[in-house]
Amino acid sequence: MPHYIHGYLSEEQERLLNQAGTLASLIYPWIDFTPAKKLLEIGSGVGAQSKILLELYPQIELTCVELEASQIQKAQANLAGFSNRKIDFVLQDGQQLKLDKSFDSIFICWVLEHVSKPLEVLNRAFAHLDPGGIIYLTEVFNSSFHFLPRLQGLADYYEAYNDYQTKNGGNPDVGLQLGNLLQQSGFKEITLHHGGFHLDQSQPESLANLCDYWKSLMKSAAEGMIKSGLISESGITQMEKDLDQLKTEKNAVFFYQFVQAKAIR
């Protein structure tokens, strides 16, 4: 099993909740589960997206599949307010998913980047989706990150961060492959969509918020990166300084794209 680069400390579990809130306005406009009744979420983490899905779609019954028991525990606490809804939690590896029911809809967000066999996850998703059912994916495309001016500390840290994920069996550019992976799993009517940020000093507040969010994302892998010898403490400090500098630079630009895909079985 690949090592999960963000880890499972409570600070990281909190970061996932904040992340889902920060990015919701970019992710959900393209997703439509209005016809859904039985929704499967694979890699549900601490229930950060599950909460949004339950709020947006009051008709759905939700099954959350997650590899790590402590994430499920946290998700159960985070979703305690939905006691009137049917929510099942299943501790399983999405690459070997085996459930005794099928679904009309599937949701996967920020998960395939962490698995060594993303095609297996989609094969298992296909097997659990009803004919005509819909799947939505949202995944990273980390090579799309461009920022100006050139800040070496941030550039070095980002390179090490992506190396760390690759060395641990993940793929920081898995978003690029979503169409191919869905097609290889047998899905039809595949549509791709790009979302993300292109911020500069014309929107200084959004730029500053994004720099702070990015800092927390980058730092979430720091402990493991240090243990692996990929960065030093001073590398973390410099990355943080560079992101602070980006907030105030007259010609600052922050560009990043993630990839969304939808497909039908």
Contact status: 4 vs ligand SAM (CB under 6 A): yes
Contact status: 68 vs ligand SAM (CB under 6 A): yes
Distance CA 121, CA 62 (A): 18
Contact status: 111 vs ligand SAM (CB under 6 A): yes
Among 63, 95, 105, 238, binds ligand SAM (CB under 6 A): 95
Q: Which residues contact 69 (CB under 8 A, 6 or more apart)?
A: 91
Residues 6-35 that bind ligand SAM (CB under 6 A): 6, 16, 20
The residue sitting closest to ligand SAM, measured at its beta carbon, is 45
For residue 10, give the nearest of 92, 78, 96 by alpha carbon: 78
Among 15, 31, 39, 45, binds ligand SAM (CB under 6 A): 45
Contact status: 93 vs ligand SAM (CB under 6 A): yes
The per-residue b/e assignment along 198-207, b for 16 or more CB within 10 angstroms, e otherwise, is: ebbeeeeeeb
The per-residue b/e assignment along 222-252, b for 16 or more CB within 10 angstroms, e otherwise, is: bebbeebebbeeebbebbbebbeebbebeeb
Distance CA 98, CA 108 (A): 16
Distance CA 148, CA 134 (A): 39
Q: Which stretch binds ligand SAM (CB under 6 A): 45-53, 159-167, 179-187, 208-216?
A: 45-53
Contact status: 67 vs ligand SAM (CB under 6 A): yes
What does residue 214 show for φ and ψ, rounded to 5 degrees? Answer: -65, -40
Decide whether 95 or 257 has the Cβ nearer to ligand SAM: 95
Among 40, 94, 162, 218, binds ligand SAM (CB under 6 A): 94
Decide whether 45 or 153 has the Cβ nearer to ligand SAM: 45
Decide whether 118 or 133 has the Cβ nearer to ligand SAM: 118
Smallest gap from residue 16 Cβ to ligand SAM (A): 4
68 C-beta neighbours (distance < 10 Å), count? 15
Contact status: 114 vs ligand SAM (CB under 6 A): yes
Decide whether 47 or 133 has the Cβ nearer to ligand SAM: 47
For residue 31, give the nearest of 96, 106, 92 by alpha carbon: 106
Distance CA 131, CA 147 (A): 43
Among 110, 147, 157, 258, binds ligand SAM (CB under 6 A): 110
Smallest gap from residue 219 Cβ to ligand SAM (A): 14
116 C-beta neighbours (distance < 10 Å), count? 12
Contact status: 89 vs ligand SAM (CB under 6 A): no
SS3 143: helix
Decide whether 20 or 40 has the Cβ nearer to ligand SAM: 20
Q: Which stretch binds ligand SAM (CB under 6 A): 28-36, 109-117, 148-156, 208-216?
A: 109-117
For residue 46, give the nearest of 19, 22, 28, 73 by alpha carbon: 73
Q: Enumerate binding residues for ligand SAM (CB under 6 A).
A: 4, 6, 16, 20, 42-45, 48-49, 65-68, 71, 93-95, 109-111, 114-115
